[in-house]
Amino acid sequence: MATVLEPQKDIRADERFVIHGVDWNTYDAILRALGDHRTRVTFDGRHLELRSPSPVHEFYKIMFGRLLETLAFDLNFEIRGGGSMTFRRQDLERGLEPDQCYWIQNELAIRGRQDIDLSVDPPPDLAIEIDISRSALDRMAIYGGLEIPEVWTFNGESIRIHLLQADGKYVASETSRCLPWLPVAEMIPFLQPDDKSGETARTRRFVSQVRRHFSQGNG
pLDDT in tens, 17-43: 788 888 888 888 888 887 766 677 888
Q: What is the CATH number of domain 54-214?
A: 3.90.1570
Q: How confident is the model at residue 148 (pLDDT cuts 50, 70, 90)?
A: very high
> CA nearest 18: which of 6, 31, 1?
6
Report yes or no: 150 and 202 within 8 Å, Cβ to Cβ: no
Predicted pLDDT of residue 4: 37
Dist CA 47 CA 65 (whole Å) = 29
Assign 11 a pLDDT band (cuts: 50, 70, 90).
very low
- Domain residue ranges of the chain, discontinuous segments joined by +: 54-214
Q: What is the pLDDT of residue 218?
A: 54
pLDDT per residue as tens digits for the range 60-94: 999 999 999 999 999 999 999 999 888 888 888 88
pLDDT of residue 27: 83
The count of residues in the chain is: 219
Measured between alpha carbons, how far is 174 from 71 in angstroms, rounded to an integer? 20
95 pLDDT above the threshold of 60:
yes
Band of residue 216 on the pLDDT scale cut at 50, 70, 90: low
Lowest mean per-residue pLDDT among 45-49, 186-190, 204-208: 45-49
Minimum mean pLDDT range among 20-34, 66-80, 136-150, 173-187: 20-34
Is this prediction's pTM over 0.85? no
Average pLDDT score, the chain: 85
Is a pLDDT exceeding 50 seen at residue 7?
A: no
Instruction: Give yes or no for residue 47 having a pLDDT over 70.
Output: yes
Among 4-13, 75-84, 94-103, 147-156, the minimum mean pLDDT is found in 4-13
How much is the average pLDDT of 96-118? 91
Closest listed residue to residue 49, CA positions, set 75, 69, 31:
31
